[in-house]
Amino acid sequence: MKKTLAICFATIMMVTGLTGCGASTEEGQSADGKRQLVISTWGLSEDILKEDVYAPFEEQFNCEIVLEIGTTPERYTKLATDPSSRVDVIDLSQAKAAEGYEAGLFEPIDYSKIPNAKDLIPSALELTENGYGPAYTINSIGIMYDKEALGFEITEFADLWKPELAGKISIPDITSTFGPAMMYVASDYKGVDITTDEGAKAFEALEELKPNIVKTYSKSSDLANMFASGEIQVAVVGDFAIPTIQAAAPQAIYVSPASGTYANFNTMDINKNSKNKDLAYEFINWRLSNELQTKTAESLNEAPTNSTVQLTDEVALNKTYGEVANNAKAIDYSFVNKFLSKWIDQWNRILNS
């Protein structure tokens, strides 16, 4: 049903160029004269977003929110190639946002205009130091394993290199969401800051890990099948994949290493050509508020980046929250993006040949 709604929604967007309560009579204004804030985002959970996120903001600021729907590559490319784009705020993955700043597409964020940013968790706060748009939700990697089948515990990423795990593990492919994080993990195993050697030690560690790897994966659904069939007993996974894997393999348990993990964020950025930057700042501040993040943690299953949010154990389950969030480290995608093509080639020669 949601997929059908998303398709219909996207079709309406293509025809009219906007969503909302009425048609636009003048660029940037609704039929009843309200300012329009154009947000580029994913076509997911539109009904919940409308009720919990957009409607309260529209009411408070007497405006109309217009949505541009699409995948990350589609929306990013459209903004990058259209200097007259009406997009004000764009939701992007952390990696794509970094690419946009390198290309000069986005407004360097003035955090004095976003009071709620002061409450961001440490790893999200780190992203704000260079003027990048803030993260409004977070996930992270950990280790999922079948303790009963293995007969021993795994507690840290370094355990992956144990010889007892020969032919038992799967790791995310370099081109997947957490592929770059796996490079950081491998470099940590060698005790080297990955930004100091362009990933050289990470690839040494991955060569040492290769005997333990059954295969790399691109989709969490592949992992679920491998666990269920007994093809693997250990995997490095994003916490968002836990329910999918446990549905297929209830015996699999998840561990977030106490020494720390690596985070992945969804961010909000402002088009440098936006005509509504004041309203864009207000929306971002609202998106980071305790009130909204407490609500969306449950309704949208989004882990909060606001450190003041208090979740029940039930809502916090399987989320990067609390101590896990505080121990999560940010990945420098400005650095990663410079070397990613080279890394993909080397990764494929070592692990996928």
Which residue in 126, 131, 133 sits closest to 263, CA to CA? 126
% of residues, the chain, pLDDT over 70: 92
Q: What are the sequence ranges of the domains in the chain?
A: 2-138+264-325, 140-262+331-351
> Would you state the pLDDT for residue 7?
39
The structure tokens listed for 38 are: 């154009």
> Would you state the pLDDT for residue 275?
96
> Would you state the pLDDT for residue 24?
45
> Would you state the pLDDT for residue 12?
38
How many separate helices (H) and strands (E) can be counted in the chain? 16, 10
Q: Is the pLDDT confidence value at 159 over 80? A: yes
In one-letter notation, the amino acid at residue 146 is D
In one-letter notation, the amino acid at residue 197 is D
**What does the pLDDT average to over 7-11?**
40
Q: Is the pLDDT confidence value at 10 over 70? A: no
> Would you state the pLDDT for residue 242?
94
Note the pLDDT tens digit of each residue in 20-41: 433 444 677 777 889 999 999 9
Distance CA 270, CA 272 (A): 6
Note the pLDDT tens digit of each residue in 102-147: 999 999 999 999 999 999 999 999 989 888 999 999 999 999 999 9
CA dihedral 160, 161, 165, 167 (to 10 degrees): 100
**Burial zone of 352 (CB within 10 Å; 0-12 exposed, 13-18 middle, 19+ buried):** exposed
Distance CA 190, CA 321 (A): 28
Please name the fold of domain 2-138+264-325.
Answer: D-Maltodextrin-Binding Protein; domain 2 (3.40.190)
Q: Is the pLDDT confidence value at 42 over 80? A: yes
Note the pLDDT tens digit of each residue in 215-226: 999 988 889 999
> Would you state the pLDDT for residue 26?
61
Please list, in sequence order, all residues whose beta carbon lies within 8 angstroms of the beta carbon of residue 91, skipping any fewer than 6 positions away. 39, 40, 41, 42, 136, 266, 267, 268
Equal fold, 2-138+264-325 vs 140-262+331-351? yes
Please name the fold of domain 140-262+331-351.
Answer: D-Maltodextrin-Binding Protein; domain 2 (3.40.190)
Distance CA 176, CA 5 (A): 27
Note the pLDDT tens digit of each residue in 47-80: 999 999 999 999 999 999 999 999 999 999 999 9
Q: Is the pLDDT confidence value at 2 over 50? A: no
In one-letter notation, the amino acid at residue 326 is N
Please list, in sequence order, all residues whose beta carbon lies within 8 angstroms of the beta carbon of residue 193, skipping any fewer than 6 positions away. 187
**What does the pLDDT average to over 221-243?**
94
CA dihedral 38, 44, 48, 49 (to 10 degrees): -20
The structure tokens listed for 91 are: 């939701």
DSSP, collapsed to helix, strand or coil, labels residue 151 as coil
Note the pLDDT tens digit of each residue in 308-321: 999 999 999 999 99
> Would you state the pLDDT for residue 22?
37
Mean pLDDT of the chain, nearest integer: 91
**Burial zone of 314 (CB within 10 Å; 0-12 exposed, 13-18 middle, 19+ buried):** exposed
User: Whole-model pTM?
Assistant: 0.87
